[in-house]
Chain A
Amino acid sequence: MREEISIWFFAGVLFLIYGVIITSQGLWELSHPLVNPPVLYYLHAPIWWGAMMTVAGLSYTIRFWPRRIR
């Protein structure tokens, strides 16, 4: 029997998916700069913000992974 999936697991998965997508986009922009960049583009916010989400998402996904219970 599996335990009920925790809300924090859902949050972890969502953060992880978003983190991977946004970090990848930021890395892609390093070699393919935007034609109309936003203000402060040179700070590469997608890379560090996405990386932070990836780390947070991964840790929550592992910590709250639904486990088998008796």
Chain B
Amino acid sequence: MQLQPFVAFSTYFAAPVHSLAHLNAIDIAVIAIYFAIVIFIGFYLKGSANTSEEFFMAGREMTAWIAGLSFVSANLGSLELMGWAGSAYQYGILATHWYWIGAIPAMLFLGIIMMPFYYISKVNSVPGYLHLRYGDGARALSAVSFAFMTVLMSGINMYSMALVMKVVLGWNLNFSIWVSSITVALYVGLGGLRSAIYNEVLQFLLIWLGALLVPILGLIDAGGWTNLKHQIGARLGSEYVHLWSTTGHFSENPMGIHWTGLVFGLALVISCGYWTTDFLVVQRVLSANNLRSARMAPIIGAAFKMAVPFIVILPGLLALAVLPYHLVGESQAVATGQHSYNEVLPLMLVRYCGPGLLGLGVTALIAGFMSGMAGNVSAFSTVWTYDIYGAFLNKKATDQHYVAMGRWCTFIGVLISVGTAYLVQHAASIMDYVQGLFSFFIAPLFGTVILGMLWKRTTKAGGFWGLLAGTSTAIGLFLWVHFDPSALRYVALSASAKTLAEDMYRALWSWLVCVIVTVVVSYATKPKPVSELEGLVYGVVPLPVEHDDHWYQKPIVWAGMIAVLFVILNIIFW
């Protein structure tokens, strides 16, 4: 029977009685076309992924625009989209800090200061840079922790998307997990990083296309921004619509944070750590076709990142004003059958979008998930192949062997992610620790990389022991507060601090410990000869001069314009 496959397919999509929305044939067609195109791209690019340079680094042929959009898109996973929309509902406009001060300065810093060192050293990964600068110890520590975090994050992203699709659309949890992960494994396994990047650009555009209608229609519904602020202020208090003015004390804002935590913990450590040393995003920039593109890519990414709150944070704020019911936390939602914060974005889509547009919105959410997962598995396969397998287990294999290993790793990385998703399903508390886990590894790693790049006196032993001490400090502080909650007043400087504030200060302390230990051990040990640091450390060798035809082509000019806009936006929403 010709119709049988469609019927079987649609039984998974067809919403049961308890789901909030029903997808019709038009919506299913929109979703199916998306899947067909991403798989086609994977097959089309299979012939362009034959060498390790092509498979893992996309042949280093990406333009600044493609690398820049892919750089932002790989970060825009389902946790990022649905999680931060939920946080905006829960904490108000303060959630925007993770998109502005928690991203823009770090992205500009990467483009202007750090990118030249990554690019001219021709490393294939961040652990690869650590290998050149500090040797095998720091590389192994960083590669193993990154591989662990990557598949864990990928699985958590997968589970959170499948859960929302189940609650809102009634989709089978197993169906969501397997269909989306097999698709990602197929197109990344076939076309490597180039396929992941091409699809990430497409997914980024789709996310905007599908999600942009919600804030536009939502603002019309709420009577404009001024009315929205008044409604939220009247219902919950003005602290929900101010970025900075309520951060003078932990107890004066719904997030329980202080501006020192935002500036030093979030902007200086967590954000710089993530955007400049997390290989998931840095890999996209390393694929650029020249140094100028590599420097412009994070700057282009910063411009788009600054706009993302419009489709993520604003829907959460609008929901506070226009939804006729109240959303609750995940555990309460499970117990009472109410909707949780994490479902706010799909709920707003359902509110404003009819057939066709709803399919487009759901495709945007799926695209967000897939771009995040593709980023995770392609970075995982690169780090495993170059920095664990190729560095320690099989150093003398052929290039073809490493490409085959990369393809297998893509599938294995997806399988481990699926396993993690099922693990999270049975141990939901893991979700609560994600942000914490993140700060264990990223914050000290930033200390190690930045000292290695800017200070030629840093030694191999200093880098390794600094990284180990910083990571141990983060884990130790986490366990201290976990087993003795009263320790919060020491770790986060206030007993009123909440989880996100604790994460910021823990990251700050672990970074400081990493920096201090690295400096002390470096002074006590013998440094590398300067001749071995060429292209790795600031001031050792002049950086290549870029010849731009016009002043407006210089990366520093664009970075300056983004920085000015960033300051203006923070003042407007102060």
Residues on A lying within 8 angstroms of B by beta carbon are: 4-5, 7, 10-11, 13-15, 17-18, 21-22, 25-26, 29, 34, 37-41, 43, 45-46, 49-50, 53
Contacts and interface: CB of A to CB of B under 8 A. Distances in A.
19 contacts: A4-B48, A7-B202, A10-B41, A11-B205, A13-B37, A14-B202, A15-B209, A18-B360, A22-B30, A25-B26, A25-B354, A26-B356, A34-B354, A39-B322, A40-B217, A41-B354, A45-B353, A46-B357, A50-B356
B411 interface: no
B34 A49 contact: no
Contact of A39 (B29, B37, B351): B351
The 6 closest A-B pairs by CB, nearest first: A25-B356, A22-B356, A7-B198, A38-B354, A7-B201, A40-B217
Most chain A CB inside 10 Å of its own CB: which residue of B34, B37, B201, B355: B355
B352 interface: yes
B440 to A, nearest CB: 36
Given A18-B360, A40-B352, 14 more contacts: A7-B202, A10-B41, A13-B37, A14-B33, A18-B209, A22-B30, A29-B354, A38-B351, A38-B352, A39-B352, A43-B217, A45-B353, A45-B357, A46-B355
Contacts, number: 75
Contacts of B322: 39
B221 interface: yes
Contact of A38 (B205, B209, B350): B350
Contacts of B37: 10, 13-14
Contacts of A25: 26, 354-356
B175 interface: no
A43 to B, nearest CB: 7
A22 B322 CA distance: 26
A22 B357 contact: yes
Interface of B: 26, 29-30, 33-34, 37, 41, 44, 48, 66, 198, 201-202, 205-206, 209, 213, 217, 220-221, 322, 350-357, 360
A14 B29 CA distance: 12
B17 to A, nearest CB: 15
Contacts of A17: 33
A26 B352 CA distance: 14
Contacts of A14: 33-34, 37, 202, 206
A26 to B, nearest CB: 7
Given A7-B202, A15-B209, A43 B33 contact: no
Interface centre among B66, B198, B205, B356 (most CB of A within 10 A): B356
B352 A37 contact: no
A20 B20 CA distance: 27
Contacts of A53: 209
Contact of B220 (A4, A26, A43, A46): A43
Given A10-B202, A25-B26, A45 B352 contact: yes
